[in-house]
Structure formats: structure tokens, C-alpha cells
Amino acid sequence: METGDWVKLIQLLPLAFFLFPIPYSLFPIPSSLTMAISERKPLLLDFEKPLAELATRIDQIRQLADENGVDVSGQIRQLETRAMQLREEIFSSLTPSQRLQVARHPRRPSTLDYIQAISDEWMELHGDRCGGDDPALVGGVGRLGGQPVVMLGHQKGRDTKDNVARNFGMAAPGGYRKALRLMEHANKFGMPIVTFIDTPGAWAGIEAEHQGQGEAIAYNLQQMFCFDVPVLCTVIGEGGSGGALGIGVGDRLLMFEHSVYTVATPEACAAILWKDAGKAPQAAVALKIISHDLKNLGIIDQILPEPIGGAHSDPLTAATNLKKALLENLDELNRLTAAERRQLRYEKFRKIGVFTELAH
């Protein structure tokens, strides 16, 4: 088949999987299409510009060498080694505000990207049974390592049009009620729940308040503490405010290395505290939004490593790391009784915010 035929086939796959859920492995994608997708012009962040300049120099030297018949393979290897070292140096010393940029990268893998990469089978389910179907929060049933599970999460768009359609991953009350319906389905039939968090926050429009945004999130929090089945939550990008918590109560909270998890965006925090959104980098430091700080504070349970350059630079490796961690944690949680899981879940969240005051 030609690449164009494969593109048409992939566009029809969501409908096919909705009607007849079957393994993705039955539809191998040709390498020509994979390369066509991966070779898109990269979107560079400000701190990545030195890497881009070095890559340009390497390409120019290689082109000049080819034109003049000169062998400079040794020098090119040295430059490529230096480029890799520079990339490692940059991404190992990112500031909180720079990590926030990585977490918001438009090509960072989304919930549906990860679900398709790690699941053996997948069928999306729609509707909150109250008349709505929020595209900002998606979910369905599938198999993970051969085990039936319910997977759900926030879904951002790939471009402006898609982001508008999905409200930039900011779920409405109907989205959280859809999530709760799916989680209750999982609890009824004994399927573990896997959630993916990636939102700047819940939708804060007037219509959302009319529909009961606060109640929808609060009810989700209450019910997630009561589920008998294992609940695994992973911050895959931006975990913001109550919008993240609405699907974030679980037995284990995992977090990708360059993701962020915060009570409010640094921009909002700076605007509230200093009346100046330009002080967002200062707020990002104070909020302790990065994975290592949150691990030290006992908020998250495990940090998932990302490929050098962020998850968007090598989505398949990121998905492999995610699947491995999910299966390991599921295996541990499946050994516990429902009562033990509920008690440990309660104790986990009761410990958050505990501090010791030292006497002067």
C-alpha cells in the first residue's frame, strides 16, 4: 500500500475500533509513514536554541564535505558527541519555568497517544449520561499487559483548531461526570483504573459554574477514595489545580520527569501575589511544581524518566517507561485486598501537608 492509503486507513481506525475493538498490532504502520511523521520540523523552546545552532553547523559541514569530496566523518562524530553532551547538560539543569515549557510542549504525547502505545486493545466510551460528551476528557476500556482496565485522562489538541475543540484540555463538569461513570463501571466489574493528568485546570467559565463544576470535582474526590479496585494516576504533562485532582485520587501517583503538578499555574500565582504575571518564573520556584520537589514532599510516589530532550523527542521510549511502571505498580496493588487499598489510599492523602514545627 502507498503512504497515502495508510493515512486514509489510520483516519478510519477510531471508527473501526469503536465498532470492533481489536489489537492495534494487527495494523502495523510502514516505516515510510513513521518517518514522514517523525521528520516534521521540530518546535524549539528558547533554551534549545544552542542545540539547534550546533545541529545547523553539523549539517553545513556535512554538506560542504560532500560537495568537495572531503572526509570529515571524525570531526562530525565529535560534534555530534558534543551535541549530545550539551543536550544532556541543558535538560539535566532545567529551571522550574523551563520544565513548565517542556510540560506544555505542543508535541508532547497526550492521553490518547499513550493509550494507543501501551494498550493491547482499546475502545473509547462516550457520554456522561446526562446529555453531554466532553472532548476535553476521554476514556474507555482496554487491556494493559493482558489485564482489562479502564483508562481515562485529559486530552489536549495538536493544533489550534483541535485545541479549541477540546477546550485546551480543560474539562467541563460533564467531563468529570463522564470520568466518574467510567470509574464506577471499572469498580463494578473489578477492573483497575488508570488515569492520565494533563490540564492547566478545570474549565472556569460561567457556564461551567452553572453546571456545577465544584460539585462535580468534589464528588469525584469523594468517590475515588471509596473504590475497591486499584487506582493509578500519572501526570503526563501539566497537572493544574482542581482540574487535575478531579481524576487524581489514587493508590499511586506517578509523574513524568519534566511534568509539573501545581495548585495554580505560576502565571496565576504571580498575578494574585504580585499583580504581575511576568513574575511567573519566581512563582514557579516557590510553588515547588517539579517532580523532584514533589517527590521530596511526599506528594508523588514515583518519577518516570523521560528521554533526553523530553517525552516529545522520543514518544515510544516515554510510552515504554510508562507501561513498565504501570504494570509494576498494578502487580503490587493487585496483591492487596480491597480494604487494604482503601486504607492505604486514605493514609496517603492524610499525610500530605503534615509538617513539624521546630522550637526556637
210 in a structural domain = yes
Query: 42: pLDDT confidence band, cut at 50, 70 and 90?
Result: low
Contact assessment for residue 319 and residue 109, using Cβ atoms and an 8 Å cutoff: yes
**pLDDT tens column, 254-295:** 999 999 999 988 999 999 999 998 899 999 999 999 999 999
Residue 257 and residue 103: Cα distance in Å, rounded? Answer: 9
Question: Are 83 and 110 within one domain?
Answer: no
Contact assessment for residue 115 and residue 152, using Cβ atoms and an 8 Å cutoff: no
- Closest to 318 measured CA to CA, from 302, 303, 307, 330: 307
**pLDDT tens column, 97-152:** 999 999 999 899 999 999 999 999 999 999 988 888 999 999 999 999 999 999 99
The set of cell numbers assigned to 332 is 503490587
Range of the domain at 216: 101-351
Question: Are 190 and 246 within one domain?
Answer: yes
Residue 194 and residue 152: Cα distance in Å, rounded? Answer: 7
Query: 13: pLDDT confidence band, cut at 50, 70 and 90?
Result: very low
Domain finish residue from 53, 70, 93: 93
332 in a structural domain = yes
So what's the pLDDT on residue 41? Answer: 59
DSSP class of residue 28 equals: P
Residue 117 and residue 56: Cα distance in Å, rounded? Answer: 32
The set of cell numbers assigned to 243 is 482540574
Question: Are 154 and 204 within one domain?
Answer: yes
The set of cell numbers assigned to 117 is 502505545
Give the whole-number percent of the chain exceeding pLDDT 70: 88
Domain count, the chain: 2
So what's the pLDDT on residue 39? Answer: 45
Contact assessment for residue 163 and residue 205, using Cβ atoms and an 8 Å cutoff: no
* Cβ atoms < 10 Å from Cβ of 27: 13
Contact assessment for residue 136 and residue 155, using Cβ atoms and an 8 Å cutoff: yes
So what's the pLDDT on residue 23? Answer: 40
Instruction: Spell out the residues 6+ positions from residue 329 whose beta carbon is closer than 8 angstroms to its own.
Output: 230, 232, 251, 252, 254, 302
Domain finish residue from 70, 93, 116: 93
* Angle separating helix axes 280-287 and 96-103, nearest 10 degrees: 100
So what's the pLDDT on residue 27? Answer: 36
Residue 219 and residue 211: Cα distance in Å, rounded? Answer: 14
* Angle separating helix axes 111-118 and 315-334, nearest 10 degrees: 70
Contact assessment for residue 144 and residue 186, using Cβ atoms and an 8 Å cutoff: no
Query: 55: pLDDT confidence band, cut at 50, 70 and 90?
Result: confident
Domain finish residue from 27, 62, 93: 93
Q: Which range is least confidently modeled, 28-42, 237-251, 306-320, 325-339?
A: 28-42
23 in a structural domain = no
pTM tops 0.85:
no
Question: Are 166 and 82 within one domain?
Answer: no
DSSP class of residue 263 equals: S
Alpha carbon 118 to chain centroid, angstroms: 13
Question: Are 284 and 249 within one domain?
Answer: yes
So what's the pLDDT on residue 34? Answer: 38
Residue 42 and residue 45: Cα distance in Å, rounded? Answer: 10
Question: Are 120 and 67 within one domain?
Answer: no
- Closest to 217 measured CA to CA, from 162, 270, 172: 172
* Angle separating helix axes 3-19 and 31-38, nearest 10 degrees: 90
Question: Are 108 and 167 within one domain?
Answer: yes
Question: Are 147 and 54 within one domain?
Answer: no
326 in a structural domain = yes
CATH number of the domain enclosing 247: 3.90.226.10
Question: Are 109 and 81 within one domain?
Answer: no
- At 333, which amino acid appears? L
186 in a structural domain = yes
2 in a structural domain = no
Question: Are 173 and 66 within one domain?
Answer: no
So what's the pLDDT on residue 40? Answer: 55
Q: Which range is least confidently modeled, 156-165, 210-219, 237-246, 347-356?
A: 347-356
Query: 16: pLDDT confidence band, cut at 50, 70 and 90?
Result: very low
Contact assessment for residue 245 and residue 202, using Cβ atoms and an 8 Å cutoff: no
Pair type for strands 147-154 and 137-144 = antiparallel
Question: Are 198 and 229 within one domain?
Answer: yes
Question: Are 157 and 197 within one domain?
Answer: yes
